[in-house]
Amino acid sequence: MNIVSQTTAFGGMQGVFMHESDACKCDMTFAVFVPPQAIKEPCPVVWYLSGLTCTHANVMEKGEYRRMAAELGLIIVCPDTSPRGNDVPDELTNWQMGKGAGFYLDATEEPWSENYQMYTYITEELPAHVSQHFRMDMSRQGIFGHSMGGHGAITIALKNPDRFKSCSAFAPIAEPSTADWSAPAFEKYLGPDPAAWRKYDACALVADGARFPEFLIDQGKADGFLENGLRPWLFEEAVKDTDIKVTLRMHERYDHSYYFISTFMDDHLKWHAKRLA
């Protein structure tokens, strides 16, 4: 693991690191904040998955999570959103496909399947890697994210309820298989049969029997992507006849930006800390 940068913040360490990924077949960059409590004992870890066009840096620079994470004793891991490199397939004029748009799935279609194995990277390779280098209590893991990353967090939690004890999301893509800005990417990554998309769609996963105890979702009512891309009410409807609890909070005047995310970041970290205690 190569150290890109390390700096002290709120008594802890904010670092950026790079390693060679077997899953994505390229070098991958990620950020980790380690709170001061980790000097004495392993700490719970919360994974943050970013949205379309983002890297690890967006939440690290704009998310304002370090003060509360240090207070609560949470390790925060922020992966990249896709494979990177000159040899990685991309659509240069399409921000909803390719680099920065991995959708946290394992692609099955060429040319994407060679590198775009983000589900395996997030759920298997990166946890195994970081747990060797940081004092993490891997029996206490939570996951959250924004937009495409909110979709990723919810679907990963639904598919791994024994691993994760908490999940939340900011403005998630609730039903990506039917959303304007994700369905075309799903077809390119996973092929033309919508049945293959279901394991990466939160609403479909619930319909197919996947379960997770509870979710916290925050959504801005002034979000320009709300009606055609995000539609969190679809997930609320999907869980209606299940034992899954969804706390959906709709906020007047808030948009899709990190101004929105940073406003409610403390709430989400407290949500996770309570369930990881």
Cite the DSSP H helix spans in 55-147.
57-62, 66-72, 118-120, 126-130
* Residue 257 is a catalytic residue: no
CB 62 within 8 A of CB 54: no
The amino acid occupying position 81 is: T
Q: 3-class DSSP state for residue 156?
A: helix
| CA–CA separation, 183 and 78 (whole Å) | 25
Q: Which of 21, 50, 82, 147 is catalytic?
A: 147
Q: Which of 56, 82, 223, 268 is catalytic?
A: 223
Pairing relationship of beta strands 12-21 and 245-251 according to DSSP bridges:
unpaired
Helix (H), strand (E) at residue 21? strand 12-21
* Residue 223 is a catalytic residue: yes
Please report the sign of the dihedral spanned by the C-alpha atoms of residue 246, residue 170, residue 157, residue 10.
negative
The amino acid occupying position 208 is: D
Which DSSP letter does residue 133 get? T
| CA–CA separation, 112 and 228 (whole Å) | 25
* Residues in contact with 205: Cβ distance below 8 Å, sequence separation at least 6, in sequence order: 155, 158, 159, 198, 199
* Residue 147 is a catalytic residue: yes
Which of the residues are catalytic?
147, 223, 256
